[in-house]
Amino acid sequence: MTCDPLVERMQPYRSSIFAEMSALAQRTGAINLGQGFPDTDPPSAVLDAAVVALRSGHNQYPPGAGLAELRAAVARHQRRAYGIDLDSDSGVQITVGASEALAATILATCGPGDEVVVFEPYFDLYAAVVALAGATLRTVTLRAPEYTFDPQQLRAAVGPRTRLVVVNTPHNPTGRVFTTAELTEIAVVCCDADVLAVTDEVYEHLTFDDCAHVPLATLPGMFERTFTISSAGKTFSATGWKIGWVSGPPELVAATRAVKQHLSYSGGTPFQAALATVLDDVEPIISDLRVDLSRQRDLLCAGLATLGLEVRRPAGTYFVVADVAPLGASDGVAFCRSLPERAGVVAVPTQVFYADPDDGRTLVRFAFCKRPQVLAEAVDRLQKAFC
Ligand code: PMP
Ligand code: GLN
């Protein structure tokens, strides 16, 4: 075949930055503070539940909607954590991670001529799937260093062609947790324009310092127009399990289900069965995780500050973003590509999460979901390279 087999609209999305940076870490042996995954196993009760599930016959296709036990557990979780009432049959769909939930929802609702509003910097999958759907991305910028948005810019971005507003809180890569005031602003815009919302809440339990996550669906007028998406990966430190879910009113969930069934149909039966047994007991797991992660956050933030970087402590997620211009960098991509050789550390350039790379040219994301000794070693290497 002489021509490039990749369809035109996916050409800009040929390689995810996470794949590139993790491959770089592997090739060079550098410490990987790039892709966000823990370097420890899930709690042993969670692992035991998976072993039991594997050994007790949960190894064939689950129903397309997902195991009924897990759908019921997700419905109980949403009720307990946020007071959201769901029908576990028609209001919950299990997916192959939040990734598939996001992809199926965007593909189910958007086509050519439709516009999707996202806050930038944005998780890379949104732009790629919007392109796959043939729709158009519109961005509202979270401006450094506070990473808040201008409500006027949001209002201007939403117009007659807007089909969806995508809201990711706690936010990757900035680590911001949207306030109720900000969510109210978004809710009013969605209701006024009568558009649908998709939320990406995969870091819902990874919040620190008494900062609480508020789902957009709990705001007035929003439940009926919101696809709420989350997954087990971050909550249970099991990013490789790839079990996610979308929940909401039956008409919305039915739309996602219609597309999801033609993507993967279903998957991950033993992991679904395991999660059905541990999701009710998530509280002690997340309180331990929050303590560990907030210490790791503090360790990394303090270390980055010793390099002369201005670091804002993130209120949630696995990530801290710093402007690396004080280290002499003029371009985050070039900086990150050379970082393994210069310092033996891998990080992710935030620039690739902006529609206009100039907006985040020298911003770099570092992940702190790594053991304290690994973070300490990374800081030590950065100090040797830059101080
Ligand atoms: N959304 C955001 C903001 C993420 O950081 C990630 C990466 N975990 C995902 C979605 C994808 O989640 P999953 O691994 O469950 O597919
Ligand atoms: N969510 C992870 C991150 O932001 C990456 C997941 C992926 O590789 N798609 O680092």
pLDDT digits (tens, 9 = 90+) for 165-223: 999 999 999 999 999 999 999 999 999 999 999 999 999 999 999 999 999 999 999 99
Q: Whose CA is nearest to atom 9 of ligand 2?
A: 18
Ligand 1 centroid to Cα of residue 98, in Å, is: 6
Instruction: Please give the span between the terminal C-alpha atoms of the chain, in angstroms, as a whole number.
Output: 52
- Tell me the C-alpha to C-alpha distance, in Å, between residue 42 and each of 39, 45, 200, 214, 291: 10, 8, 22, 25, 15
Q: Whose CA is nearest to atom 4 of ligand 2?
A: 36
Nearest atom (ligand 2) to Cα of 123: 4
CATH number among 3.30.70.330, 3.30.590.10, 3.90.180.10, 3.90.1150.10, domain 8-42+284-386: 3.90.1150.10
Q: Which residues pair with 345 in a beta bridge?
A: 31
Which ligand is closest to the CA of 203, given by its number? 1
The best mutation among 21, 24, 37, 321 to test binding of ligand 2, ranked by most ligand atoms within 8 Å of the C-beta, falls on: 37
Distance CA 214, CA 201 (A): 9
| pLDDT for res 233 | 98
Residue at 297: amino acid letter: R
Ligand 1 centroid to Cα of residue 1, in Å, is: 35
Distance CA 242, CA 317 (A): 18
Pairing of strands 226-231, 243-247: antiparallel
Which residues, 6 or more positions from 62, have their beta carbon under 8 angstroms from its beta carbon?
A: 94, 266, 267, 268, 269, 272
| pLDDT for res 339 | 97
Q: Phi first, then psi: what are they for 316, rounded to 5°? A: -160, 180
Strands (E) located in 97-135: 115-120
Distance of CA 36 to the CA centre of its chain: 9
| pLDDT for res 287 | 96
Residue intervals of the chain classified under CATH 3.90.1150.10 are 8-42+284-386
Ligand 1 centroid to Cα of residue 69, in Å, is: 23
Distance CA 189, CA 194 (A): 8
Q: Which residues pair with 264 in a beta bridge?
A: none
Residue intervals of the chain classified under CATH 3.40.640.10 are 44-282
Q: pLDDT tier at 115 (50, 70, 90 boundaries)?
A: very high
pLDDT digits over 82-106, tens only? Answer: 999 999 999 999 999 999 999 999 9
Mean pLDDT of the chain: 97
Q: Whose CA is nearest to atom 1 of ligand 2?
A: 36
pLDDT digits over 134-165, tens only? Answer: 999 999 999 998 999 999 999 999 999 999 99
| pLDDT for res 1 | 65
Which ranges in 110-170 belong to alpha helices (H)? 124-132, 151-157
Ligand 2 centroid to Cα of residue 144, in Å, is: 21
| pLDDT for res 2 | 73
Identify the CATH number of the domain defined by range 44-282: 3.40.640.10
Nearest atom (ligand 1) to Cα of 234: 8
| pLDDT for res 359 | 86
Nearest atom (ligand 2) to Cα of 172: 4
Q: Decide if 65 contacts 93 (C-beta within 8 A).
A: yes
pLDDT at 302 over 90: yes
Nearest atom (ligand 1) to Cα of 100: 16
